[in-house]
Structure 1
């Protein structure tokens, strides 16, 4: 299993950033390079506790589907999304939002994941996923930061 954290400073209030991170349209726009879209469950608007969404995207030239659930939510401090079905053996993504003391937000993503297929999955984690996944989350967070700061 792999774990990584990404911290992003955003010049917007935590509630604004929290809300944007739960918006399906913000998520799909942030993942435009992979053609990600919501195809089941909540497909538009803001997700909330116990909502599920099925995402479809293209990574490494292959089409993937993942259904996730908002399994914990305490606005505007944090929420968790977890894979219900999909390509990972485990996917647990905790989103934390803390005031920075200057009217902004420190957004911290903590992701625990495991690839399937035993030793082959462990090899994929070490050789590809451990650099690809943090890069993907940083790109998503840049999109969220721009969206949150532009609406101030």
Structure 2
């Protein structure tokens, strides 16, 4: 299993950052480099516990789909999305939030497993972990920019 953990400091109230983090439209904006679109389930607005979304985006030259569900949500503190269908063996993304003195700390913990045994592990080591890290960093920079503008 591979784990990516990122911490982003955002000068905005926790409610704004939390809601922007679960906003389907904002995710599509932040994932424009991969032409990622919500194609089924919740396709616009804020996603909530128990709701599902299917994404389609271009990664490594291929259009791939990824269906996930929000399995846990503690408003303004924590939510988790987990893959139901897709190209990973497992995929779990935890989103944690904490506000101190008007600054929200957002922590992403992404845990995933690749299929295809040794080939999958090698692909992860050579390409996938870096790709997903850049994807999340780009997403977080846009969340930061939009959230700090909204304050």
1:20-59 matches, cutoff 5 A: 20-59=20-59
TM-score (norm 2): 0.98
Q: Which moved more, 1:33-42 or 1:112-121?
A: 112-121
Question: Post-superposition shift, 1:72?
Answer: 0.3
User: Is the contact made by 2:16 and 2:150 (CA closer than 8 Å) also made in structure 1?
Assistant: no
Residue in structure 1 matched with residue 84 of structure 2 by the alignment: 84
Task: Kindly report the root-mean-square deviation, in angstroms, between the aligned alpha carbons of the 2 structures.
Answer: 0.7
**Equivalence map 1:3-152=2 (5 Å):** 3-99=3-99, 101-152=100-151
Spell out, residue by residue over 1:52-102, the C-alpha distance to the aligned partner (whole angstroms, 9 max, x if none). Answer: 000000011100000000000001001000000001111100000101x22
Runs ≥4 residues deviating over 2 A: none
Q: In the aligned structure 1, how far is the partner of 2:14 from the partner of 2:115?
A: 35
Aligned residue pairs: how many?
151
> Unpaired runs of 5+ in structure 1?
none
Instruction: Give, in angstroms, the shift of residue 129 of structure 1.
Output: 1.2
What SS is found at the alignment partner of 2:135? helix
Q: Which structure 2 segments of 5+ residues have no match?
A: none
CA shift for structure 1 position 118: 1.2
